């Protein structure tokens, strides 16, 4: 399917539905089918059914509707939970949502409107009125898409994700008639796994977390020892992400050694450069035996530096539906089922990675939209405060993620729940000081000490930052609000902005301060003391560490201080990897 073509389910296909695509959620099966037929028969609206309410968000992402109708008749649930999950989804949260109910369940009307419902229809209702209201809300959404470039970008990404998923479904169906063969069953399982991976990737906001997850999932799918991702930056490819399970096992931390980011020009002389130029995948059985007739060569200096031997490799372009290449993913050294022998990649592996790359690229573009919004807010703060540089916010976010990972490990938090919380924290940490856009730059850039009045003015940035994320908050906004508002509170209650209690103002203390704010508060102080600012020189590391230790149970959560020192090597790696951005 060409990038310009539209599928029967695409809202841009007006041949039969004038662009109106309704997702009907819930309802008893017979009643839902009857309602669907009734709406469809009136013309102009294509209806898709989603009988399982827990699948509503996933189905909405897949088909890109222009309106959602939640049918509460005769199915024994109030719909508020599915409503909340839809509104919190960045992909489909802006869609108009209509509830169809009876007098028995009409009691949830006020709660539904409070959670963002668009319309509430009490049955029985005439077919003419029902369809008119659906078309009205669908038209409103389509008009917003036409006017709003950001919304149009999301629509495009949703369409690309839907196309990628359809390609997976078509591939899976090709093998459905041959399920008697073990290899075909295994292929079906691997392709089916990609469907869920695609949905999970598109729920990650933070770009760093997303790329790390993409590389992990790709390595897992193809049983690879190592992998890298190069991101395109103009005429260069930046070596941005690196995994190596063999090297990680040699370290005391269980992590691969730190490798500084670098850039290579996009030419046909390097493997990644050739893939980026041609847009074609590259499969090399042995990187040390590349034919002299090819223009590209394998650079073995990386292997020599790390004491590792790259043998078999797949390099795949991360290419969107319009053909634009965002980067290159390389997977290295597939291993046998027992994990002992390096083998060659198969044709099946190459096809699987092609499908994976198409799904991953949609997630990358969606994360770029979020990342660009975050960066615009950070740049506004940077105009006021020169300390709010890209390197500072990346370091604080990186330190926060390291601390949270250890905190979560100690509590057995893992899997999707862990990744979602880490993703929220990294993004919120980047915005911890965005409230400085409301503070005078003459104060923020003052080279000497602030007087009491000036310090009170600076303290306002926490409330300003919190207010930025307090209107119609999403799951992401809630985390950003907590961090922006509360990252200057102290464990002993001596911080700000504090709370009013029985007419007395006091600082929050202990676990009254949300975890994310406590983590970012520690990460921010470490980075602020360790780097040069207009009003001070960078402290020696030994002095910084001594202060953090002395402030345990005073300024900082004592458990987080303990975690900080346990993970100090990882903290240093984050610092070193972002120095070149300063």
| CATH, residue 101 | 3.40.50.2300
Reference 281, options 230, 351, 332, 344; nearest CA is 351
Buried b (16+ CB within 10 A) or exposed e, 117-135: bbbbbeeeeeeeebbebbb
- pLDDT number for residue 531: 87
Neighbours of 508 (CB within 10 A): 20
Are 415 and 559 part of one and the same domain?
yes
- The SS3 assignment for 448 reads coil
Reference 387, options 522, 262, 525; nearest CA is 525
Instruction: Provide the number of structural domains found in the chain.
Output: 3
CA atoms within 13 A on the CB side of 117: 22
Paired with 239 in beta bridges are 230, 262
Are 356 and 251 part of one and the same domain?
yes
DSSP assignments along 91-126, one per residue? TTTTS-EEEEE-TTTGGGHHHHHHTT-SEEEESS--
CA angle 196, 72, 118 (to 5 degrees): 80
CA dihedral of residues 548, 422, 234, 264 (deg, nearest 10): 70
Are 304 and 337 part of one and the same domain?
yes
- pLDDT number for residue 550: 97
Mean pLDDT (whole number) for 422-449: 84
Percent of the chain with pLDDT over 90: 30
Are 339 and 406 part of one and the same domain?
no
Mean pLDDT (whole number) for 452-466: 89
- pLDDT number for residue 206: 75
Decide: residue 170, CB within 10 A, 0-12 exposed, 13-18 middle, 19+ buried.
exposed
Are 209 and 108 part of one and the same domain?
no
The Cα 303–Cα 300 span in angstroms is 5
Own/partner long-range contacts of 5-13 (Cβ < 8 Å, ≥24 apart): 7/162, 7/163, 7/166, 8/46, 9/46, 9/48, 9/63, 9/64, 9/162, 10/64, 10/159, 10/162, 11/64, 11/65, 11/66, 11/142, 11/155, 12/159
Given pLDDT bands bounded at 50, 70 and 90, which one contains residue 581? very low
pLDDT in tens, 341-366: 888 898 888 888 988 888 888 888 77
Last residue of a domain, one of 102, 131, 147: 147
Are 77 and 215 part of one and the same domain?
no
Rg (CA), the chain: 26
Are 407 and 258 part of one and the same domain?
no
**Chain centroid to CA 441:** 32
DSSP assignments along 121-150, one per residue? EESS--HHHHHHHHHHHHHHHHHHHHH-HH
pLDDT in tens, 66-78: 889 988 876 556 6
pLDDT in tens, 549-560: 999 999 999 999
Mean pLDDT (whole number) for 109-132: 84
Last residue of a domain, one of 362, 377, 404: 362
Are 409 and 509 part of one and the same domain?
yes
| pLDDT above 80 for 119 | yes
| pLDDT above 60 for 390 | yes
The Cα 281–Cα 287 span in angstroms is 15
DSSP assignments along 166-192, one per residue? HHHHHHHHHHGGGTTSHHHHHHHHHHH
pLDDT in tens, 83-109: 888 887 766 778 889 988 887 667 788
- pLDDT number for residue 173: 55
Q: What is the mean pLDDT of the chain?
A: 80
Residue 409 maps to a domain: yes
pTM, to two decimals: 0.54
**Lowest-pLDDT range of 34-48, 102-116, 374-388, 541-555:** 374-388
* Residue 312 CA: distances (Å) to CA of 246, 298, 350, 444, 558: 15, 11, 12, 53, 47
- pLDDT number for residue 153: 45
- pLDDT number for residue 367: 75
- pLDDT number for residue 387: 57
**Prior bond of 497 cis (ω within 30°):** yes
Mean pLDDT (whole number) for 241-252: 87
Are 411 and 346 part of one and the same domain?
no
- pLDDT number for residue 15: 38
- The SS3 assignment for 489 reads coil
Are 311 and 451 part of one and the same domain?
no
Mean pLDDT (whole number) for 311-326: 89
Residue 3 maps to a domain: no
Q: Which residue has the higher pLDDT, 389 or 284?
A: 284
Are 98 and 136 part of one and the same domain?
yes
**Is the separation of the CB atoms in 332 and 313 below 8 Å?**
yes
Are 453 and 340 part of one and the same domain?
no
**Chain centroid to CA 63:** 20
**Is the separation of the CB atoms in 516 and 427 below 8 Å?**
no
Given pLDDT bands bounded at 50, 70 and 90, which one contains residue 410? very high
Last residue of a domain, one of 117, 147, 177: 147
């Amino acid at each position: 399917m060409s990038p310009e073509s539209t599928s029967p389910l695409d809202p841009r296909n007006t041949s039969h539905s004038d662009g109106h695509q309704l997702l009907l959620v819930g309802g008893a099966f017979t009643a839902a089918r009857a309602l669907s037929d009734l709406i469809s028969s009136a013309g102009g609206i294509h209806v898709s059914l989603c009988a399982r309410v827990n699948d509503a968000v996933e189905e909405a992402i897949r088909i890109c509707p222009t309106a959602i109708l939640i049918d509460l008749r005769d199915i024994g649930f109030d719909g508020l939970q599915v409503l909340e999950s839809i509104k919190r989804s960045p992909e489909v949260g802006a869609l108009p949502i209509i509830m169809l109910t009876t007098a028995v369940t009409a009691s949830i009307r006020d709660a539904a409107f409070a959670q963002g419902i668009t319309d509430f229809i009490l049955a029985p209702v005439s077919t003419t009125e029902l369809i008119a209201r659906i078309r009205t809300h669908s038209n409103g959404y389509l008009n917003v898409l036409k006017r709003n470039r950001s919304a149009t970008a999301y629509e495009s990404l949703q369409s690309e994700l839907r196309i990628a998923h359809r390609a997976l479904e078509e591939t899976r169906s090709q093998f459905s008639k041959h399920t008697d063969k073990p290899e075909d069953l295994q292929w079906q399982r691997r392709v089916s796994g990609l469907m869920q991976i695609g949905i999970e990737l598109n729920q990650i906001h933070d770009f760093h977390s997303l790329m790390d997850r993409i590389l992990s999932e790709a390595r897992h799918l193809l049983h690879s020892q190592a992998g890298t991702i190069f991101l395109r930056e103009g005429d260069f490819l930046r070596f941005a992400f690196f995994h190596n399970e063999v090297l990680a096992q040699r370290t005391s931390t269980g992590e691969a050694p730190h490798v500084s980011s670098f850039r290579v020009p996009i030419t046909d002389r390097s493997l990644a450069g050739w893939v980026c130029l041609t847009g074609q995948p590259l499969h090399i059985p042995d990187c040390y035996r590349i034919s002299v007739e090819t223009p590209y060569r394998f650079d073995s200096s990386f292997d020599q530096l790390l004491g590792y031997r790259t043998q078999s490799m797949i390099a795949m372009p991360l290419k969107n539906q319009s053909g634009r290449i965002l980067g290159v993913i390389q997977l290295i050294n597939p291993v046998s089922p027992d994990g002992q022998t390096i083998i060659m990649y198969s044709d099946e592996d190459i096809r699987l990675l092609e499908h994976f790359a198409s799904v991953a690229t949609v997630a990358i573009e969606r994360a770029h939209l979020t990342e660009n919004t975050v960066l615009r807010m950070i740049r506004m703060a940077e105009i006021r405060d020169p300390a709010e540089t890209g390197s500072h916010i990346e370091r604080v976010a990186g330190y926060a993620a390291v601390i949270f990972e250890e905190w979560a490990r100690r509590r057995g938090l893992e899997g999707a729940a862990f990744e979602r919380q880490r993703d929220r924290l990294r993004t919120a940490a980047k915005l911890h000081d965005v409230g400085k856009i409301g503070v005078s730059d003459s104060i923020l850039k003052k080279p000497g000490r602030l007087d009491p009045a000036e310090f009170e003015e600076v303290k306002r940035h926490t409330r300003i930052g919190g207010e930025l994320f307090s209107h119609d908050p999403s799951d992401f906004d809630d985390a950003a609000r907590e961090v922006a508002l509360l990252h200057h509170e102290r464990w002993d209650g001596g911080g700000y902005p504090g709370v009013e209690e029985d007419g007395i103002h006091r600082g929050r203390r202990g676990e009254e301060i949300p975890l994310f704010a406590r983590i970012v508060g520690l990460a921010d102080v470490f980075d602020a003391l360790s780097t040069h600012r207009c009003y001070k020189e960078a402290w020696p590391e030994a002095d910084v560490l001594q202060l953090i230790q002395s402030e345990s149970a005073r300024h900082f959560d004592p458990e987080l201080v303990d975690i900080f020192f346990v993970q100090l090597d990882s903290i240093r790696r984050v610092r070193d990897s972002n120095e070149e951005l300063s």
